[in-house]
Amino acid sequence: MTSPLQSIKVLDLTRLLPGPYCTMFLADFGAEVIKVEEPKLGDYARLEEPKIDTESAIFSSLNRNKKSVTLDLKSEEGKEMFLELVKNADVLVESFRPQVMERLGLGYETLKKLNPKLIYCAITGYGQTGPYANKPGHDINYISYAGLLNLLGERNRKPIAPPVQIADVGGGSLMAVVGILMALQARNQTGKGQFVDISMLDGAVSWLQTTLPNYLVDQNLPNRGELPLSGEKACYEVYETLDQRFLAVGALEMKFWVEFCKAIEREDLIEFLDSPPYKQTELKSEIAQIIKKKTLAEWNEVFSHYDACVSPVLNFEEVTNNEQIQNRQMIHEVSGINGKQIGNPIKLSETPASIYANAPKLGEHNKEVLENLGIKNK
């Protein structure tokens, strides 16, 4: 079966999460992704616990379908080998701070002279320009500068750090995938590569489409826990059940709210869907008392008869066994691949993603990749 990116060769100099997650998407859709790692240590994610075989679970997941080549980019020999790889590459992805590649003599301006068709993607915290360009940071810093962290959590309590990396993945990895694919399409039209500058802070700011545009119009600052989709309304809330489990309610629209009120046998509450904040607080208290009277299983049975946008809050054991997750193959075992894998969420009818190779051992493909270029690996 033809894969949409099967003719694309990618050099991946990234480590840990944002870059490897980006290049995993490219590899799943057929790109030849060559992971260029420093000798001996390689990607730090290899060291995490627990392990699948000899590699960490997170490394095995993020680096499936890739090849590993070890090069010391600080040595002349390593640089020469790397430049040979660049000559035949379509895409290069790196996640160093700005100017690191330039100091190595391997910056975009140098590489594009060697390969004018090269698409060079740099994923950084703050981008290549601006006063923060060389500041260190992690996901929590990027979402704090974006104003996103300030909105996470309950009213009158401190912001809560999210358990997933919003800026790293949503603002970095996925924006990089989109940028690379658009640059490839542009190259099809112009024959030229280009520099793709991805800032995780920029990406996090771009996620604020349901809140920031309102502020730009009326200059009214939103408050934590007082937004319709973050705890203000009783119809969009998490409630505790009798057995200390939780029920997620998303009955935002009137048609769903009506069904919800019928299910909890409180049709007298229907008229208060869009009531002011003080009434919403009262509603939440009343509803919390009602939901507390049944177990999660009992409420699941009740709401199975109503289209109310209500769901159980699942743990990972339940997620992996969930019928919808299994049907969509978002957690599945692949013959010949170590451990269970998180599936690819992009479903193409004619050229689907494929998991066909385990994450590589450090330097596993040195001989294959370098000798194919006529380079004798020492």
Would you please indicate which residues are annotated as catalytic (active-site) residues?
138, 168
In order of 122, 126, 212, the CA distances from 203 in angstroms are 13, 10, 13
Q: What token pair was written down for 74?
A: 């600080």
Let me know: does 268 contact 290? Beta carbons within 8 Å. no
Torsion of CA 274, 208, 131, 125, to 10 degrees: 130
Strand partners, 122: 94, 197
CA–CA gap between residue 154 and residue 156 (Å, rounded): 6
> Count H helices, E strands: the chain?
15, 13
48's CB contacts (< 8 A; 6+ apart) are 56, 57, 58, 59
Q: Which helix (H) or strand (E) holds 144?
A: helix 139-145
Tell me how far apart the alpha carbons of residues 128 and 135 are, in angstroms, rounded to a whole number: 11
DSSP tag of 271: G
- Contact indicator for 143, 207 with CB cutoff of 8 Å: no
CA-based angle 105:106:107, to the nearest 5?
Answer: 105
Q: Token pair 């100099």 is at which residue? A: 13
Calpha distance 194→108 (Å, rounded): 9
| 3-state SS class at 180 | helix
Q: Contact 111/76 with Cβ under 8 angstroms?
A: no
